[in-house]
Amino acid sequence: MVGMDSYMNAYLDRRMKNLIQDWDLATRNDIGDFETRLQAIEETSKDIASFETSAEIKLEELEHRLLQLREVKR
């Protein structure tokens, strides 16, 4: 029955792999580097927040310049 046991183990391994992928479940490997990935995401979000702030300031400056140009055109 060794052949049947190895076949069943291989089948169950494939099914579990498919279930993990289908349901997007976390594995021990995923959880192992969770803190590192979380820190990377936090750093990226800080960069994005900084970009949003600078982009907002630049947009306000451009809107102000546009208003000035419209006034001059009148």
pLDDT confidence of residue 1: 58
| Domain assignment of residue 56, yes or no | yes
| Domain assignment of residue 39, yes or no | no
26 and 51 in one domain?
Answer: no
Q: What is the pTM of this model?
A: 0.48
Which amino acid belongs to residue 56?
E
Q: Domain containing 72: what range?
A: 44-74
pLDDT confidence of residue 74: 76
**Alpha-carbon span 56 to 54, nearest angstrom:** 5
**Helix locations, 1-74, DSSP H:** 2-23, 28-32, 34-73
| Domain assignment of residue 15, yes or no | yes
Taking 90 as the threshold, does the pLDDT of residue 64 lie above it?
A: yes
pLDDT confidence of residue 39: 93
49 and 26 in one domain?
Answer: no
| Domain assignment of residue 9, yes or no | yes
The 10s digit of each residue's pLDDT in 4-59 is 788 888 999 999 999 988 998 888 888 888 888 899 999 999 999 999 999 999 99
Count of domains for the chain: 2
